[in-house]
């Protein structure tokens, strides 16, 4: 047993002894660990409601290109506040995943008055008053207190939430073992091992909405679909998941089952080593040759440890199939170009991670975005179905389209799904309704911590404020997701989009126009929601010339870029020869993926050099 393990064991015994011999631990006080004074939100004058007037962004024309085509990856052409309760979104392309985009934590709506405050003083983002179940009560040097708005409800069980942060995972783990906090994110591996043996603690998994895949490159050896099927079923994916950080799970579909329609259609064939060997022998596969297994030289989305996974897979192929492979590395940028261009030789490991809880965010990068890749060419029978599903808005129709496409992918095996990477959190065992979110916005409000009147959670980094639209990280979403609501959102433990500030959003026949009706809602400071607030929030994220966007900078809005694409300012007022607006960041240079400055896992994405965390694929 290591010294660290001994420390945790001793601390656990002390904690258990204390609980057995004395009163329960006192509620954690909101006080900085360093002894500094906690601070109230900035003393800014309370904003006031602005009378509603119809408004649109862009004011005229469209952010789409000529003929309705998407420019620089933009999906949104125009958003209009038709009346106080009605918002109309006109898209550049058909989008059946639009509700999933609206449900993303970054799509929280902020009142226009608060946006004006942020434009004048970016620090005002700390005390934004949203439409969520909690408001920021006060900030400390290593914690923030959230107070429930109104009476207890299914989404706001605890009257008080305290979010703490400590960069060192050992510190977080020790704080939990000593019962100073009720839950922690990203514990140490030793902490997870210890927690598994302690009845006072409970480990809760977190899906990262990612998939590691085995790809089949150039060469006659893997051109035969029977060979690809045999190799795919000759891999014990359950055992391979042990080569990943804790929380990973074997994959039998390309899309995790957390995602609606993710497990539609036939699963890939289960592990059967002897049958796989017999199938390879039946097609006279050359067992005497050695085959390259190419990996990137750095982690990429969906593949957090290329070398470790490759070594485990190499050993499995030798033991299960009698197949000799040689692992070789390639610079990550060259690797991506070779995979996307269909030039890679032999076998390779790849991955995809999604910041959007929709199958299109997985299938797009693998089969639709790069038509020259061998995977795309071998999936030709499924591509039409994937395009149809991506453009279909009806739940049943999307389910059927993705099921048909998934079954074709199982049969053609353009790639073989291996593992869904994951992560884990730890809670005290008496925390009721403990749950996590793949997108980072953990539903702390639904939890109750024994007989304590508050829930205390500790993460790696400090959140910056209450508006998720400008805070693209998992640690930020954990706070702002409780303060600001979007038109749609997710219930605890679900990734099915459900109405929040909207009563419903309905699509036209081709899913290019979505009309949303708003419910009556007020912010924690009493501001009344209207459609103009929705337009103002969208413009702040999408328009580089908007005062809020300029005040916070392009880097604050990478989540929007991943979901909808960034529209260059020049496109807001189309001209015969567009000229970029001075100071505006073209969409082509915008960040390709949401990479949080956090010790926690990214919201559904593993940081990587090339493949975007949220696909913009569309027909």
The per-residue pLDDT for range 33-51, each reduced to its tens digit, is 333 334 444 434 445 577 8
Domain boundary (435, 459, 483) is at 459
CA-wise closest residue to 322 among 353, 375, 279: 279
| Residue with the two structure tokens 């957090």 | 304
Q: How confident is the model at residue 204 (pLDDT cuts 50, 70, 90)?
A: very high
pLDDT at position 210 is 97
Assigned domain for 596 exists? no
| Residue with the two structure tokens 């920021």 | 136
Q: Are residues 297 and 359 in the same domain?
A: yes
Beta strands (DSSP E) in 460-580 are: 488-489, 498-499, 502-507, 513-518
Q: Are residues 223 and 348 in the same domain?
A: yes
Domain extent at residue 499: 55-123+462-585
Q: Does 522 score more than 60 pLDDT?
A: yes
What's the pTM? 0.84
- Give the count of domains, the chain: 3
Tokens (6 digits) for 97: 């995943």
Assigned domain for 351 exists? yes
Assigned domain for 617 exists? no
Q: Are residues 186 and 201 in the same domain?
A: yes
Q: Are residues 264 and 346 in the same domain?
A: yes
SS3 60: coil
SS3 502: strand
How far, in Å, CA of 463 to CA of 36, rounded? 18
Judge contact between 399 and 423, C-beta under 8 A.
Answer: no
Assigned domain for 308 exists? yes
Domain boundary (397, 431, 459) is at 459
Q: Are residues 356 and 273 in the same domain?
A: yes
Q: Are residues 328 and 186 in the same domain?
A: no
What φ, ψ does residue 448 adopt, rounded to 5°?
A: -130, 140
How far, in Å, CA of 412 to CA of 614, rounded? 25
Assigned domain for 612 exists? no
pLDDT at position 195 is 86
pLDDT (tens digit per residue) in 205-257:
999 999 999 999 998 999 999 999 999 999 999 999 999 999 999 999 999 99
Q: Are residues 367 and 392 in the same domain?
A: yes
Q: Are residues 238 and 354 in the same domain?
A: yes
What is the percentage of the chain residues whose pLDDT exceeds 90? Answer: 74
- The domain that holds 332 is classified in CATH as 3.10.105.10
Whole-number average pLDDT of the chain: 85
Assigned domain for 501 exists? yes
Q: Are residues 72 and 165 in the same domain?
A: no
The two beta strands, 498-499 and 488-489, are antiparallel
Most confidently predicted of 44-58, 73-87, 581-595: 73-87
């Amino acid at each position: 047993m290591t010294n660290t393990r001994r420390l945790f064991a001793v601390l656990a015994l002390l904690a258990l002894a204390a609980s057995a011999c004395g009163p329960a631990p006192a509620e954690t006080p909101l006080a900085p660990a360093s002894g500094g004074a906690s601070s109230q939100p900035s003393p800014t004058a309370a904003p006031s409601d602005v009378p509603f007037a119809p408004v649109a962004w862009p004011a005229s024309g469209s952010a789409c290109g000529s003929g309705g085509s998407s420019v620089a990856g933009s999906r949104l052409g125009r958003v209009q506040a038709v009346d106080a309760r009605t918002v109309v979104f006109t898209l550049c392309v058909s989008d059946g995943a639009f509700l999933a985009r609206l449900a993303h934590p970054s799509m929280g709506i902020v009142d226009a008055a608060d946006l004006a405050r942020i434009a004048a003083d970016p620090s005002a983002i700390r005390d934004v008053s949203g439409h969520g179940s909690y408001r920021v009560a006060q900030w400390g040097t290593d914690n923030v207190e959230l107070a429930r708005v109104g009476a207890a409800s299914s989404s706001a069980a605890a009257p008080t939430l305290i979010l703490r942060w400590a960069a060192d995972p050992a510190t977080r783990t020790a704080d939990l073992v000593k019962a100073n906090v009720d839950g922690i994110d990203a514990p140490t591996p030793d902490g997870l091992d210890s927690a598994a043996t302690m009845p006072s603690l409970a480990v809760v998994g977190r899906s990262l909405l990612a998939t590691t895949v085995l790809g089949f490159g150039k060469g006659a050896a893997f051109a035969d679909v029977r060979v690809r099927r045999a190799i795919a079923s000759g891999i014990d994916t359950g055992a391979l998941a042990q080569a990943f950080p804790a929380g990973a799970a074997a994959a039998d579909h390309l899309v995790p089952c957390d995602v609606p329609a993710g497990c539609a259609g036939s699963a890939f064939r289960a592990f059967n080593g002897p049958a796989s060997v017999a199938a390879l022998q039946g097609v006279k596969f050359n067992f005497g040759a050695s085959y390259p297994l190419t990996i990137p030289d750095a982690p990429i989305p969906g593949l957090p440890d290329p070398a470790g996974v490759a070594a485990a897979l190499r050993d499995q192929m030798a033991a299960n199939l009698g197949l000799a492979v040689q692992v070789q590395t390639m610079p990550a940028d060259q690797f991506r170009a070779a995979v996307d261009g269909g030039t890679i030789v032999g076998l390779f490991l790849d991955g995809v991670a999604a910041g959007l809880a929709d199958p299109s965010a997985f299938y797009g990068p693998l089969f639709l975005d790069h038509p020259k890749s061998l995977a795309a060419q071998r999936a030709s029978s499924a591509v039409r179905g994937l395009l149809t599903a991506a453009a279909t808005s009806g739940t049943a129709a999307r389910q059927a389209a993705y099921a048909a496409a998934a079954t074709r992918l199982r049969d053609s095996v353009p790639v073989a799904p291996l593992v869904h990477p994951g992560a884990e959190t730890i809670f005290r065992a008496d925390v009721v309704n403990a749950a996590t979110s793949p997108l980072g916005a953990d539903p702390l409000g639904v939890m109750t911590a024994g007989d304590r009147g508050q829930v205390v959670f500790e993460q790696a980094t400090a959140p910056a404020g209450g508006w998720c639209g400008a805070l693209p990280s998992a640690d930020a979403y954990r706070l702002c997701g409780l303060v600001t609501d979007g038109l749609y959102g997710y219930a605890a433990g679900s990734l099915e989009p459900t109405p929040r500030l909207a009563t419903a959003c309905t699509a036209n026949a081709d899913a290019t126009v979505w009309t949303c009706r708003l419910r009556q809602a007020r912010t924690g400071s009493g501001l009344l929601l209207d459609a103009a607030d929705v337009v103002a929030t969208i413009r702040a994220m999408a328009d580089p010339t908007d005062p809020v966007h300029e005040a916070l900078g392009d880097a604050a809005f990478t989540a929007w870029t991943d979901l909808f694409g960034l529209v260059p300012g020049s496109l807001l007022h189309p001209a015969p020869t567009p000229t970029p607006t001075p100071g505006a960041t073209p969409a082509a240079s915008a960040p390709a993926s949401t990479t949080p400055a956090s010790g926690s896992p990214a919201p559904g994405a593993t940081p990587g050099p090339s493949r975007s965390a949220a696909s913009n694929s569309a027909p």
